[in-house]
Amino acid sequence: MKKTLLPFLLLIAPIFVFSQPLISFQPVVSGLSQPVYMVEANDSSHQLFIVERTGKIRIWKNNSLLPTAFLDVTSIITAANAEQGLLSMAFHPAYKDLGYFFIYYTNTAGAITIARYRRTNDNIADPSSGVVLLTIPKRFSNHNGGHLLFGPDGYLYFATGDGGSGGDPDNNAQKPQSLLGKMLRIDVNNPVTPFYKIPPTNPFVGSTSIKEEIIATGLRNPWRWSFDKQTGDIWLADVGQNLWEEVNLVTASNRMNKDYGWSCFEGTHAYKSCVAKPNNVSPIFEYPHNNTTGGFSITGGYVYRGSEFPSLQGYYICSDFVSGNGWLIKSNGSGGWNTTMQSSWPQISSFAESLNGTLYALALSGSLYKITTGSSLPLHLVSFGGRAAGNMFELKWQVQHEEAGDVYVIERRTGSTALFTEISRTKSTTNTAINNYSAKVPTAEGQSFYRLKSISIQGQISYSEIISSNHKILFIIKASVIGTNLSVTIPAGTTLIEVFDAAGKALKKQRVNPGQSHLMIPLNNIAKGIISIRAMVNGERQSIQVAY
């Protein structure tokens, strides 16, 4: 059997990244009953409507919570499971004139239900005005999705879960005749039953094999998603199965007939044996199931488009309901994304956005927070880059506003692994305005990715841009085992060859004559294992290994 390992050189340009704003949460309302959503009425009243999972919609007006509920649908919902109940609401684009709004809930049979109501006055809705537009039966209590929004085109969008249990046992997310595990779009301007129409630009209009309401498939449990107020792009966070949580992005001009991948994929990772489709959406961000760098249940948020905090402009904010970790995501301008994690956030059930772009967060414990910022992370990463240095890889970075106790962790992921692992750690010892660092680490065989994890003394965590391994293979030396012999091909400029067995015992040390291009070394009576070959080539030491 012939085995060959080739060394390589990674050619990587330095990447420059900048610190993200530090998010803080200002309490504004308490004593709510399991709040899961909030939205502002588009009628110039500046009233914000808070949706309580237990069945009521409350009004927050002039910094006060009105004592009487705007709507109480407790009697027609089921909230037996934590994922059930009254889940969200949306105001008709012409709410000021028509008074219509829509709610998303699970009915007493556990079915996903979309219904339309009408207000009586600014502070009270008519509970008898309710008409059901759509009911979607399901076998299990979990994975209901729960969010509906009017798009820039005036149509009503809502994303449903796959129907529950685990692993999508009914394959609903990929089943064209099921409305579960889908993004749906309807025209609610229909005065007669079923009180909605199919928009003529839906991708499956006229189909008898695919439900016409569907505009995208492959969703597991899209609890919260949003439109970017400025671009119309959809940001969709999908709750994962056992390993990964994900954030997806589709542009305003390309949101039709998309497949978000479930249950073929969980994030970017294969879940079932499927072939990727041309219309698959690949997440722009994912995180693993753990309390340190990830979590277990993502809560999607919004892109900040307000004016109060300029440093926050353009950042997408999301969090994990279980771990309390939060993320700020923004384009790096080169087709990638800068992502920073911050920890110790509230247990956020939902984010919310006012008409002027102010962002809020709701906690299931009963609180509403305004999202604010005013300072940057104390630790500012200016640049991060790397280059090959012989048989090592040298990483360099520069920081500002460093404090003693700040920690820098170099993490690497190779082509054969899915997770980043720590390979080097450095701790600062002084307070400095600016500082430069470098660290050499052994190169990994194959394609590699590096990133720098910065941990400030205050406990804030941020990540550099990932440096991808745009590598070029340089044929420095080649080695292979042929039978019981080690065959070594020597490039020009080689002056010395050393060979060691798995225990580190020297097998051969030989000067190489100019023009010599090949060595054949017997391996008789050598224990099976890894053979190491070291060569001095053009004054630099190179190493490779081969299995025997």
pLDDT of residue 7: 35
pLDDT of residue 418: 65
The total of other beta-carbon atoms located within 10 Å of residue 235's CB is: 22
Question: What is the Cα–Cα distance from 83 to 223, expressed in whole angstroms?
Answer: 9
Q: Which string of DSSP letters, residue by residue, matches 389-456? A: ETTEEEEEEEEEEE-TT-EEEEEEEETT-SS-EEEEEEE--S-EEEEEEEEEEE--SS-EEEEEEEE-
- 33-291 CATH: 2.120.10.30
Of the candidates 482, 484, 476, the one whose C-alpha atom is nearest the C-alpha of residue 525 is: 484
Question: What is the Cα–Cα distance from 181 to 174, expressed in whole angstroms?
Answer: 8
- CB-based contact 351:359 (threshold 8 Å): yes
Look at residue 75 and give its three-state secondary structure: helix
For the chain, give every residue range classified as CATH 2.120.10.30: 33-291
For residue 343 the two structure tokens come to: 């920890």
Q: Which residue has the tokens 């085995």?
A: 3
- CB-based contact 86:51 (threshold 8 Å): yes
Query: Rounded to 5 degrees, what are φ and ψ at 319?
Result: -150, 175
Dihedral of alpha carbons 258, 260, 262, 268, sign: positive
First to last CA, the chain: 9
Question: What is the Cα–Cα distance from 129 to 512, expressed in whole angstroms?
Answer: 92
- Residue 464 DSSP code: P
Helix, strand, coil percentages, rounded to 5, for the chain: 5, 50, 50
- 478-547 CATH: 2.60.40.3080
Q: Which amino acid is at 83?
A: E
For the chain, give every residue range classified as CATH 2.60.40.3080: 478-547
Beta bridge partners of 60: 48, 65
Q: Which amino acid is at 393?
A: F
- Render pLDDT for 108-137 as a digit per residue (tens, 0 to 9): 999 999 999 999 999 999 999 999 999 999
Low-confidence stretches of the chain (pLDDT beneath 70) = 1-20, 374-378, 390-391, 415-418, 444-446, 468-476
For residue 355 the two structure tokens come to: 């008409």
Q: Residue length, the chain?
A: 548
Of the candidates 404, 365, 506, 405, the one whose C-alpha atom is nearest the C-alpha of residue 33 is: 365
Between the CA of residue 320 and those of 196, 294, 536, what are the distances in Å? 35, 7, 51
Identify the architecture of domain 378-413+428-472 in CATH.
Sandwich (2.60)
Determine if the peptide bond prior to 194 is cis (ω within 30°). Answer: yes
pLDDT of residue 15: 34
For the chain, give every residue range classified as CATH 2.60.40.2060: 378-413+428-472
* Angle, vertex CA 296, rays to CA 290 and CA 302, nearest 5: 115
pLDDT of residue 282: 95
- Residue 205 DSSP code: T
- CB-based contact 146:226 (threshold 8 Å): no
Biggest CA pair distance of the chain:
96
- CB-based contact 218:271 (threshold 8 Å): no
Of the candidates 332, 302, 304, the one whose C-alpha atom is nearest the C-alpha of residue 318 is: 302
Question: What is the Cα–Cα distance from 58 to 48, expressed in whole angstroms?
Answer: 8
pLDDT of residue 444: 66
